[in-house]
Structure 1
Amino acid sequence: MITQLESARQGILTSEMKAIAGQEGLDETFILDHVAKGEIVIPCNPNRKYQKTVGIGTGLRTKVNASIGTSSDICDIGLEVEKARAAEEECADTLMELSAAGDMDKIRRTVLDSTNLPVGNVPLYQAFKETIQKHRNPAKLDPEYLFDLMEQQLADGLSFMAIHCGINQYAIDRLRKQGFRYGGLASKGGTFMVAWMDINQRENPLYEQFDRVCRLMKKYDAVLSLGNGIRAGAIHDSHDRAQMAEMIINCELAEIGREMGCQTMVEGPGHVPLDEIEGNIMLEKRMSGNAPYYVLGPIPCDTGAGYDHISAAIGAASSARFGADLVCYITPAEHLALPDVHDVREGVRATRLAVRIGDLAKYPDRRDTEKQAALARRDMRWEDLSRHLLFPDIAEAVRSARAPEEKQTCTMCGDFCAMKKGMELFETDIKEKR
């Protein structure tokens, strides 16, 4: 297997690179150059015949990931398929299958068969769940079994994996010496790995055998997403010594993986106050050599439960603005319950809107759609406006449910319409706008 990264280094423009250039309206040599540098990754495991081609990284539209998966309380394969399809219908770019209960092989394969999105996962979930089932003790996890499981999952067609390679004994010592945290540990896989290391008094095998991780990922040209298992779960823990220790290690590992020909990206927080987001992204980009950055939210406050998709959308807009490349959605159920289909739809919509706002600031030359929407709204050309909206079905449903007496206006203003009066006042002065 020759990876996208290795192909680009040899000057080979793959069909996936060509597709991304077409999608993004960018020159093919731009894509080739940045894939060769490891600044753009393409999750595209060839074991999946039908899969959407997605580019993540420098110069590209900020992408949105949706996460689904079972828990011990709610385990329904049919529901997960519904959620996967809802995420794709709402135009998510990637999907993470994060089941932690049930027949995880069957769930993963069923989800892979139900969507065309590139699918990722966290292999530690299944590894620890099955170890607990077998031994009633997560500390009995066998590293050899973990590596075998990762290969099995990749062979099924996963195109990226969040692997917690950056947790090591040094980072755990930082947690102890700083007196733990306000928000505790927020990562399921990360927390179980920390426990495994503590009980066994051993180093993280994913860190110790990082070259083996990279070889596995290269075999299937899957993207290695360096997971942040010690991410902050509260804004008062943001950028503490433990988080920064893991971030430094992950950025170093991203560089090592890239040198080996493995496509890599770095994962970020987490809970981060708004004023720290720019600095966080600057640090990741500087320390990793501009590796693509995959951020989880981020959530800039701890008191928005029930509306955390809105909190996270504010963080996501800021993240996209300052250079994040892939944003994992947050749903209204975050911190409260397992998301349902409605939560998935709301989470994707909020995050798509957020990254659109961020991209408009990141790429000021890419605002033509906004201009055309504004002109259509000014001229009250409702059908034209709909074509430029992110959520035309929602907009049309609201308008038709509260239809105005006069078709040209809306019921917000009725016969007191500012747009209509403005057009009448300046009809002879209006210049053609393009």
Structure 2
Amino acid sequence: MREYATQMEAAKQGIITPEMKTVAEKEFTDPEIIRERVALGQIAIPANINHKSLCAEGIGKGLRTKINVNLGISGDANNYEAEMDKVRMALRFGAEAIMDLSNYGKTNTFRQQLIELSPAMIGTVPMYDAIGYLEKDLLDITAQDFLKVVRAHAEEGVDFMTIHAGINRRAVEAFKRDKRKMNIVSRGGSLLFAWMEMTGQENPFYEYYDAVLDILREYDVTISLGDALRPGCLDDSTDAGQIAELIELGALAQRAWDRDVQVMIEGPGHMAMDEIAANMRLEKRLCHEAPFYVLGPLVTDIFPGYDHITSAIGGAIAAANGADFLCYVTPAEHLRLPDAADVKEGIIASRIAAHAADIAKGVPHARDLDNQMAEARHRVDWEAMFQIAVDPDKARSYFESTPPSDRHTCSMCGKMCAVRTTNLILEGKKVEFCTER
């Protein structure tokens, strides 16, 4: 039996855990730096004691930006094998986390298979699962019922859980007072808001927050404090509801750390580009440097079918200015449950955003592959380029779809390739185009 209950408790005691060593190795840094920042709450290592297949990742200060892939069934699309295909896709393309957002029927069989298979972190939103798990209508669910679902997910091996504890009566007052175009767009937040309004009671995750923390501490589950009042359109960003909830989340983060429970803070969904940097700094200030997990932000509202791009633009700006964890968005966002092709597009877009931000932040070795790609392009070495590419199959298929007559060029420029021309001159050779007369 280990000497500590959670990664944070170990860090505070000066213990470097196996998970901290794994993270340090992946991040090319000293394990002691990881330990110090876990103790301060600046880095989280979501690692449930029951997730045996996990290969630990760190989220937070000074580390690579991580990405999360959402999947899971709904009442209208409940093919678990299709969801498992998405899991394999996410792992293939390097997602560090997978969230099972299933909200229909008994979901624990799929979740247990996912936890058994996945070396990536697994997250859930217990609020989504409550109705199916308990087989009760929303109004009939009690505060203690909600805690049962949290415990069930923790026992199964979930590494982090989105808990919407910040939408308490004070935050709801601010939301109601400051009229919004889109009201509440968080699924879990809307369900809790409805439950609070129908029952007249306080948010159970806020009222019984200490009991929630006790469960999470027992299994070393990281709490991801959900942003129930995140903006769902540009016009609602940085309003009273969003900021009021963020203030509550800062206080809740400190309470979790006092009980050695690791914390992430969830952030805005839709936001104009000029507001993103300030929001990242505001979260770090109000939430005491806790790791920040953002959905997007989507920087415009009028491109359904292309929201993986609007999200990647916002995600790159967010991560370059302090966000630590990006939730992917697919082309199907706002339209339907994503299929496997949508999942791939969403993952690649998020990886572009995360990688671009890591280069901007100077994360150690972030540029290594870019430098290798430049060297391969300098040599016009197509095989090396394909191997370095994040999606080598797509790169190869594009190149081969219109093959050049000369493998030292591509069909875009042919023999007028700038790289070829310059290489020939620097090698003391002539540049000739009209070799046949």
TM-score category, normalised to shorter length: over 0.9
The answer to whether the 8 A contact 1:81-1:110 is kept is: no
Q: TM-score, normalised by structure 1?
A: 0.95
**Alignment equivalent of 1:105, drawn from 103, 108, 112:** 108
TM-score w.r.t. the length of structure 2 is: 0.94
The Cα shift of 1:364 comes to 6.6
Q: Does 1:119 align with 2:118?
A: no
Q: Deviations over 1:167-193 (max 9, x none)?
A: 1111111122123x1122111111010
Taking a change above 3 Å as real, the CA distance of residues 120 and 391 of structure 1, as seen in their structure-2 partners, is: same
Shift in Å, 1:279: 0.7
Distance 1:297 1:57 in 2: 17
The answer to whether residue 8 in structure 2 is matched with residue 5 in structure 1 is: yes
1:41 matched to which residue of 2? 44
| Cα contact 2:124–2:161 (8 A) shared by 1 | yes
Amino acid across the alignment from 1:222: V
Q: Answer yes or no: is the 8 Å Cα contact 2:105–2:133 preserved in 1.
A: no
How far apart are residue 130 of structure 1 and its match? 4.7
Report if aligned partners of 1:297, 1:329 keep a CA contact under 8 Å in 2.
yes
Q: 2:74 aligns with which of 64, 71, 75?
A: 71
Q: Which residue of 1 aligns with 2:234?
A: 235
Whole-angstrom distance in 1 between the partners of 2:32 and 2:400: 46
Cα displacement string for residues 228-259 of structure 1 (whole angstroms, at most 9, x for unaligned residues): 11111001000110111111111111122112
Secondary structure of 1:406's counterpart equals coil
Q: Distance in 2 between matches of 1:196 and 1:301?
A: 31
Residue in structure 1 matched with residue 432 of structure 2 by the alignment = none
Aligned residue number for residue 219 of structure 2: 220
Quote the RMSD (CA, aligned, Å).
1.6
Distance 1:246 1:154 in 2: 25
Q: Are 1:252 and 2:255 matched, yes or no?
A: no
Post-superposition, which runs of at least 4 consecutive aligned residues in structure 1 deviate over 4 A?
none
1:415 CA drift (Å): 1.6
Which residue matches 2:96?
A: 93
Q: Which ranges in structure 2 are unaligned for 5 or more consecutive residues?
A: 430-437
Secondary structure class of the residue paired with 2:162: strand
Q: Pick from 84, 87, 99 the counterpart of residue 84 of structure 1.
A: 87
Q: 2:434 matched to which residue of 1? A: none
8 Å CA contact retained: 2:105, 2:132: no
> What secondary structure is seen at the aligned counterpart in 2 of 1:243?
helix
Q: Offset of 1:382 from its aligned partner? A: 2.2
Q: Counterpart of 1:196 in 2: which secondary structure?
A: helix
In 1, the alpha carbon distance for the partners of 2:399 and 2:84 equals 31
Answer yes or no: is the 8 Å Cα contact 1:64–1:328 preserved in 2.
yes
Q: Which moved more, 1:367-376 or 1:333-342?
A: 367-376
Aligned to 1:421: 421
Letter in 2 for 1:7: A
The Cα of 1:48 is off from its aligned counterpart by: 1.8
Matches within 5 A, 1:277-292: 277-292=276-291
Name structure 1 gaps, 5 residues minimum.
430-434
Q: Distance in 1 between matches of 2:48 and 2:181?
A: 39
SS of the residue aligned with 2:266? strand
Aligned to 1:378: 378
Q: Please tell me whether the aligned partners of residues 5 and 263 of structure 1 are also in contact (alpha carbons under 8 angstroms).
A: yes
* Residue 129 of structure 1: how far off its partner (Å): 4.0
Task: Map residues 189-338 of structure 1 onto 2, 5 A cutoff.
Answer: 189-338=188-337
Of residues 7, 23, 26 in structure 2, which corresponds to 1:23? 26
SS state of the match for residue 161, structure 1?
strand
Find the aligned partners of 2:16 and 2:114 in 1 and give their Cα distance: 30
Which residue of structure 1 lines up, in the alignment, with residue 164 of structure 2? 164
Aligned residues: 425
Does the 8 Å CA contact 2:42/2:289 hold for their aligned counterparts?
A: yes
- CA drift at 1:391: 2.2
The one-letter code of the counterpart of 1:81 is M
Offset of residue 428 of structure 1: 6.0
Deviation at 1:393, TM superposition (A): 2.6
Query: Which residue number corresponds to residue 432 of structure 1?
Result: none
Contact 2:51 / 2:116 at 8 angstroms: preserved in 1? no
- Structure 2 match to 1:184: 183
Contact preservation (8 Å) 2:52, 2:116: no
CA distance in structure 2 between the partners assigned to 1:18 and 1:364 by the alignment: 18
CA contact 2:270–2:297 (8 Å) conserved in 1: yes
Q: Distance in 2 between matches of 1:370 and 1:81?
A: 32
CA distance in 1, matches of 2:335, 2:114: 24
User: Which amino acid in the other structure matches residue 164 of structure 1?
Assistant: H
The SS at the match of 1:377 is helix
Q: Distance in 1 between matches of 2:140 and 2:336?
A: 29
Shift of 1:401: 2.6
Distance 1:414 1:428, change over 3 A: closer
SS in 2 for 1:48: coil
Q: Which position in structure 1 is the counterpart of 2:369? A: 369
2:354 matches 1:351: no
2-structure distance, mates of 1:348, 1:364: 20
The separation in 2 between residues aligned to 1:364 and 1:196, in whole angstroms, is 43
Cα distance, 1:402 vs structure 2: 2.4
Q: 1:257 aligns to what SS in structure 2?
A: helix
What are the superposed Cα offsets for residues 35-60 of structure 1, whole Å, 9 maximum, x if unpaired?
Answer: 11111111111112111211111111
Paired letter, 2:74: S
Aligned amino acid, residue 27 of structure 2: E
Residue 397 of structure 2 corresponds to 397
Contact kept? 1:81, 1:114, Cα under 8 Å = no
